[in-house]
Chains A and B, each alone.
Chain A
Amino acid sequence: MPTTLIRKFLNYMSESKKKYGIQWWILIIGLVIILFVTLTALFPGFFAPYSADNMEAGKQLTGPSSQNILGTDNLGRDVFSRIIYGSKTILGVAFIAALISSLIGVPLGLISGFVGGLFDKILSLIMDSIFSFPGLILAIALAAMLGPGIVNITGAVAVIYIPQYFRQVRGQTLSLKEEVFVEAGRAIGASKFRLLRKYIFPNVLATIVVIFSLNIADAIMTEAALSYLGLGLPAGIPDWGRDIAMGKKYLASGYWWIITFPGVAIVTLTLGFTMVGESLSELLNPKLRDK
């Protein structure tokens, strides 16, 4: 019954809202932002009035109007449409980069924490070194050397976030492997792989989800920054960061809309993932809940 389902859902929502207070709202708002941007990324044609590279002669650098609600850029392209098409780029790169980071960082953290010994020491040292170094600078170096290209940029962004997963997962694995239930698993003769997969991994999953969300937020910032510095994607792919770098030249003449709106888009999307990550981390950790 769809109506009862909806009623149940609404009930659940209002109860949770009472229980968790402001964190609940932060989570919901974050999710709504993410959902909306995901939709524009998947179906840009539905939302954008023009295509991303539709240049209209004589319409360069016009301010926001009924035809171009966010104005046009120096080539006469519709800023709003470029933002819509650009969402696909940035969301795609950030999401895939975060996925790659987690797929490398999580298993390494699990194994390193579980196995211990010299392997763990060396790996931790390497990860800590990368972690303490400014990620953006590492990404700049990687991106510059790899050259433009969507795969290269995604890779460069992915590398710098591996240590985050590694450190958190390793730390939790270290303490989890001393727990009684893991000991119990060992006692009944579970293999190491099984112990990791069935006993430890489910317990670090919550942390991974939180990091993943915050990671995407950060990766969005990094991708946009690389593009802004001219180290991002090849020209031709609509990209928020590069649009800001392009619009920079026209700022002094007062054409503010070219840079303002892509910036607002970056902030909003980053905010969405940050809100989800942070509220999840607080909702999952009752000690921190009402700060």
Chain B
Amino acid sequence: MKRILKYFTIRLLLTIPMIFILLTLIFFVLRVMPADPVKSMLGAHAPKRVIEQKRKELGLDKPVYSQYWDYLKQLARFDLGDSMIMKQKVITPIKEKLPATLELIIFGLILALTLGVFLGSYGANNRGTKTDTTIRLYGLVVFCIPAYWMGLMLQLIFGIWLDWLPIAGRTGSRVLVANFNNTGFYLIDTLMAGNFTAFFDVLTHLALPALTLALILSGIFVRLTRANMLDVLNNDYILAARARGLSERKVVYKHALKNTLVPILTMLGMQFALLIANAVLTETTFSWPGMARLLVKRIHLRDYPTVQGIIILIAVMVSLSSLIVDLVYAWIDPRVKY
């Protein structure tokens, strides 16, 4: 336990340089680039005096390195600063939007894993059959579909042609979110309030965006599962488990699957970046009021501090996710020692 704790701390400290590098990169990219936030804020024809005034207010008149130094000092106090465009702290909209994104990502990821692992193991266990070939093809093709296009196609089919599911937002107009808001995860909030109509409404809104994300990501999981399962099935312990009279179901889902999941898990950390990237596109397509959409909007508005804040947060999430993966890995695989 002590060793795990030590490992945990070291890993956490190691993420600091990574976040620092990304932060620096983004800071300079944002500041050195030609676009001017003040102009975009006040319009290109604002009087020079007003522009100068505003620049001073925002600290943009100082040299870049001193702006950078100020920003670092601010971060060291765990303060992301104030927005340049809105009269609010950077953290305010992030706090508000983060649960929406997490809800979408977690839901989508669970669906993707279930679908991917199921199809992948089915393919591996029926290697060489037509179904297996179809599954492989699915894995390949789905990997090449842009998330937004997949989203639009699902909207077209389930939202417009069949008219089964809503295609935008997190709730319908009749559900007053304010009544429930407390964790920001609407599924949990509505459930805690015991309002099943609202819960169902939230669920139907989540369905298509989550499915979009899930289908896109399932491609990777199908491929990973299939390849790893094929490796695992070649092991003598699978043969030995069958020879002991275990049923095929036990052999596959107890012995083979657990061993298959180990390498998949280690790769899950790497897939996190892919997950976030696809979340941006999915949120945009479904008008999902999440972080990713916030990021795109604020980039258009040239709200530097907010953009930086979101990017730092994403970097932290990336590091955290790989940390969690490592811990779970150590927990499932007794051979791993830190």
Contacts and interface: CB of A to CB of B under 8 A. Distances in A.
Does chain A touch chain B in the assembled complex, meaning CB atoms less than 8 Å apart? Answer: yes
Interface of A: 125-126, 128-130, 132-137, 140-142, 144-147, 217, 221, 224-225, 228-231, 244, 248, 251-252, 254, 256, 259-260, 263, 266-267, 270-271, 274-275, 278, 291
Which secondary structure dominates where chain A touches chain B? Answer: helix
A129 B21 contact: yes
Given A145-B33, A225-B281, A267-B141, A137 B152 contact: no
Interface string B147-189: 0110011011000110000010000000000000000000000
B18 interface: yes
Contact of A126 (B21, B33, B307): B21
A209 to B, nearest CB: 19
Contact of B144 (A126, A134, A259, A267): A267
B27 to A, nearest CB: 11
B85 interface: no
A67 to B, nearest CB: 24
A291 to B, nearest CB: 5
Contacts of B273: 132-135
Interface of B: 17-18, 21-22, 25-26, 29-30, 33-35, 140-141, 143-146, 148-149, 152-153, 155-156, 160-161, 167, 226-227, 230, 270, 273-274, 276-277, 280-281, 284-285, 295-296, 299-300, 307, 311, 314-315, 318-319, 322
Nearest to B299: A144
B179 to A, nearest CB: 29
Given A137-B311, A224-B146, A229-B284, A144 B18 contact: no
Contacts, number: 125
Given A141-B29, A228-B148, A251-B155, 7 more contacts: A129-B18, A144-B299, A146-B34, A225-B281, A229-B296, A248-B285, A256-B156
A141 B148 contact: no
10 contacts: A125-B21, A129-B17, A132-B270, A134-B274, A141-B299, A145-B29, A228-B281, A251-B152, A274-B144, A291-B230
A267 B276 CA distance: 20
Nearest to A145: B33
B247 to A, nearest CB: 27
Contact of A125 (B18, B145, B149, B318): B18
Contacts of B17: 125, 129
Given A144-B300, A224-B146, A271 B141 contact: yes
B148 A225 contact: yes
Contacts of A142: 29
A231 B302 CA distance: 13
